[in-house]
Amino acid sequence: MNNETWTECFSQYRLLGGLTQAMLRKWAADFLVERGFDEIGSSDINHSLFDMWEAAGGDWQKAILNEVDARS
């Protein structure tokens, strides 16, 4: 991860609607809770969001579909 990639991820994230952002943040937090994290801060959630985005090839829509599929 480099600074430009991080910036691109969250620049795209800020273009999403508020409900979509909230849904993604909840999924990111749930992911951490499922893995046993006791205390979760905003930095942890941001890194989890970045991982989702990166795994989806830098595409938030694909990241959403991946999460929906994983939770079905």
pLDDT value for 1: 66
pTM recorded for the entire structure:
0.91
pLDDT tens by residue, the chain, 72 residues: 688 999 999 999 999 999 999 999 999 999 999 999 989 999 999 999 999 999 999 999 999 999 999 888
Q: How many alpha carbons lie under 13 Å from residue 7 in its C-beta half-sphere?
A: 3
Give tens-digit pLDDT for 15-31.
999 999 999 999 999 99
Ranges assigned E (strand) in 2-48: none
20, amino acid identity: T
Separation between Cα atoms, residue 23 and residue 35, nearest integer Å: 19
Q: Give, rounded to a whole angstrom, the gap between the first and last alpha carbons of the chain.
A: 29
Say how far residue 58 (Cα) sits from the centre of its chain. 11
Separation between Cα atoms, residue 43 and residue 59, nearest integer Å: 21
User: Residue ranges per domain, the chain?
Assistant: 3-70
